[in-house]
Structure 1
Amino acid sequence: MADKIRHTTSFLTKRSVKCAHCKQGVPARTSPARDVHRCTEGHNHLVTLRTGPRTFGVEEELLLVDPATGVPQAVSGSVIRYAQRHDELFLTGGRRSKPLETELQREQLETATPVCTSLAEISEHVRSARLAAAQSAAGVGVSVAALATSPVTVRPSLTPSHRYQRMLVAYGLAMDDQLTCGCHVHVGIESPDEGVAVLDRIRPWLPPLLALSANSPFWQGADTGYDSWRHEVWGRWPSSGPTELFGSAKAYRTTVEALLATGALLDEGMIYFDARLSRHYPTVEIRVPDVCLNADDAVLMAALVRALVDTAANAWREGDPPDPVRADLMRLAMWRAGRSGLRDDLVHPSTRCAAPAEQVVGALLDHLTPALDRSGDLDTVTAMLDGVLERGNGAQFQRAIYSRTHDVTAVAAAAVQHTVTV
């Protein structure tokens, strides 16, 4: 996904923090966006303080499907041209939403919210972006479906692009049949050092996001047995998945340069970590969730991710070290989340042992409660999580439709309805 969500530095407030090196108190004062302070041990370091909530935004990939058959249609160019002729569809609350964008395959497109500061604001823009995409698609005779993979058999058609053609030559089938849709959440950060500290500290908590959002049980007309087959398909890319601890922005940059030096990646845009720094804007981008069937669940993903970032940044400022969990254990935890979603055990982020999904989700909420309380989102997020645990994720919804109809076309039709109405 392209980085299209621009974030700005928030205002600062007067308080004190701890030196990340020695945990000594650091006198902090009302200041510009960035101030260098010296702690009692003589360490120079950057202090950034904020008064308001972090900015955030959501990008969603959607399938373009035939309204009658559910078969994905290679019409993204036509849909976007229609949208460009009807830009009034993208005006919400006096703000213009981001325009629709093409994606890897012509059977999909991407929406993006503007930069938001509240849950109510992001909810409004997620819904309006989906509606604008649906209206634009209807203008050329197709529907949009928030499905992370197509339940109906499809042979995707690559979006015309010199870069994509190079990727096809380089990666073969991994590129050729890559038709998956994700939900990517951007959250504002104050510096690359803060961003990398966040990446290091959120790692154990990413698998529950996949379990909650999982919305891709079908592939080429068959039930895969996975709640998120998208996660398995995406794992074919050479740079995808969890990372080891970086420790610093310099180490992050060194890692990226080392990966590029292998020649296995075409460019830096192919750094497909589960969570990464934006190349263009001061954000971290969390790329784990499937695109969610319901708009409510997309809003939930945004709220959880922002709270994760805020919690991690606070821990870094307090000098608390990241959990040193290995990347191979993280990979297993992600596999477990994609395999069974909320239907079975997950790997508990604290104990590394199998635990019921509901218990792991509860641990996630406990971990994020202070941040959610500060942003005023605790009650809303608690109710949203209860709702997902009660009704199930998107994969469970799709399987329920299929168990009644034995028809993947009916699954696609139900998804079309839920994309813009729930």
Structure 2
Amino acid sequence: MRVLTMGVEEEFVLVDRRSRAPVNRAPEVIRRAGHELGEQVQTEFFNAQVEICTQATANRQDLRAELAWLRAVVGKAAREVRCMPVACGTPVLPPEEPLTVTDSERYRLMARQFASLVTHEDGRARDDGLVCGCHVHIGTFDREHALALAQHMRPWLPVLQALAGNSPYARRRDTGHQSWRAVEHARWPTVGPTPVLDEAQYLAHVAQLVRQGTLLDNRMVYWHARPSEHVPTLEIRIADANADLDTVVLLALLVRGLAATLLPRVEASVPAPHVTAPWLLRAHRLAAAQGITGLGLDPFDGRERPALALLDSLVTLARPGLDATGDTDWVLEQMERVRADGGGAALQRAVFRRDGRFSAVVDALAATTARS
């Protein structure tokens, strides 16, 4: 079986070490971290965010080691300007200062073209758009094969989304969701399941969206699975940022194992499973609301089943890909851990039940983000 490479992009919110609220210090953090990391540390839409990007690798240990190194360098740079990087889908506390948009031509254009998503009618900056995700890049694919593989993978993406739910709190309140990031991010155009398109249809569709002003450019295609426009990969975009490093590696391995298992079907021109857009939307909404501690929708019959049982089914399906890279035993060990602790959202709520303070939740997230 073909061994695919994988890479991870992680977004962090920067919070003040005293107030634990988001702060606009990304330019200083990126300048300091960039001396060592170069382009592997990058800006995001708001100045209260930082993104790190790994190199492509086929090895689990190398991926984990690089993520730990990137996090450590960013953490050191953040300490120098009195803040901390926190891996969480939404900030637990609201900012105490207005959020500012990163000063680049593209982000300025986005802020103007999509002003209603960035500012209130009175001109005040909105703070409900600050979300942090974790994106997994798989393989080396041309656009045609990336689109085809996305069609085969998309029934299983809600299960992976449920695994990665890590944003139950937003702006000092319990949202009732496991992933509130999924709800807030969905306000942006094209966020959602990948449409069924071949390469020619994709190019025509995206070009029309840009002409209509729905998108600024083709890099604004925010589907849950998309052909990356800056590297020749399939990019999976359904996960919250997770503080626990092993959860991030587990997500990447499951995405890679699933892709490797399904790729022979793509290469044999086997039709992708037929799933309707309403079903997929419902499955993703359920994943955002209940995560792995609740129910999900079975990709085969559409019935509600425990999310953990669906995750077991995904691991069974991905097993040939996991076996091919020697990752099966490690994945099964991590699955037992996740089953026991309930995942990121459950861990955040456990901290709040114990301490009764949102600042304690932020501290726990920051400590876990820094721990390798």
TM-score, normalised via structure 2 length = 0.93
1:163 aligns to 2:114 (yes or no):
no
> What residue identity is the alignment partner of 1:216?
S
Aligned position for 1:215: 166
Give CA-to-partner distance per residue, 1:87-125, whole Å, 9 cap, x none. Answer: 2xx4xxxxxx75311111111100111121111111111
Q: In structure 2, how many angstroms separate the alpha carbons of the residues matched to 1:84 and 1:200? A: 37
2:297 to 332, 338, 347: 347
The alignment status of 1:297 with 2:208, answered yes or no, reads: no
- Contact residue 76 and residue 108 of structure 1 kept, 8 A: yes
Task: Say yes or no: does 1:240 pair with 2:191.
Answer: yes
Gaps of at least 5 residues in structure 2 are: 119-125
* SS in structure 1 at match of 2:14: strand
Q: Give the number of the structure whose alpha-carbon radius of gyration is greater.
A: 1
Match of 1:328 among 261, 278, 282: 278
Q: Find the residue that maps to 1:287 and give its secondary structure.
A: strand
Flag the structure with higher helix content.
2
Show the counterpart of 1:44.
Answer: none
1:380 aligns with 2:330: yes
User: Does 2:351 correspond to 1:401?
Assistant: yes
The CA distance in 1 between the partners of 2:68 and 2:335, in whole Å, is 19
Q: Is the 8 A contact 2:194 2:226 kept in 1?
A: no
- For 1:98 and 1:162, the matched residues in 2 are separated by 18
Q: Match for 1:109: what amino acid?
A: V
Shift of 1:76: 0.4
Instruction: Report whether the alignment pairs 1:124 with 2:65.
Output: yes
Q: Say whether the 8 Å CA contact 2:2–2:260 is kept in structure 1.
A: no
Mapping 1:199-278, distance limit 5 Å: 199-246=150-197, 248-278=198-228
| Counterpart pick for 1:279 among 221, 229, 235 | 229
Given that 1:151 and 1:218 are in contact with CA atoms closer than 8 Å, whether structure 2 keeps it comes out as: yes
Question: Using the alignment, how far apart are the partners of 1:202 and 1:392 within structure 2?
Answer: 24
Using the TM superposition, give the Cα deviation of residue 292 of structure 1 relative to its aligned residue in structure 2, in angstroms.
Answer: 1.0
Q: Which residue of 2 aligns with 1:115?
A: 56
Partner secondary structure for residue 65 of structure 1: strand
Q: Secondary structure at the match of 1:219?
A: coil
Task: After TM superposition, list the pairs within 5 Å mapping 1:73-222 onto structure 2.
Answer: 73-85=23-35, 87=36, 90=37, 98-154=39-95, 155-175=98-118, 176-177=126-127, 178-222=129-173
In 2, distance between residues paired with 1:156 and 1:361? Answer: 37
1:64, 1:107 within 8 Å by CA — same for their partners in 2?
yes
The residue type paired with residue 145 of structure 2 is E
One-letter code aligned to 2:320:
P
Q: Distance in 1 between matches of 2:73 and 2:180?
A: 28
Whichever residue aligns with residue 315 of structure 1, its letter is R
Identity fraction in percent: 33
Matches of 1:197 and 1:78, distance apart in 2: 41
**For the aligned residues, what is the CA RMSD?**
1.5
Q: Which runs of 5+ in 1 are unaligned?
A: 1-50, 91-96
- What does residue 308 of structure 2 align with? 358
Offset from partner CA, 1:111-154 (integer Å, 9 cap, x none): 11112111111111111111111011112221111111111112
Moved over 4 A (4+): none
1:370 alignment partner AA: P
Aligned residues: 362
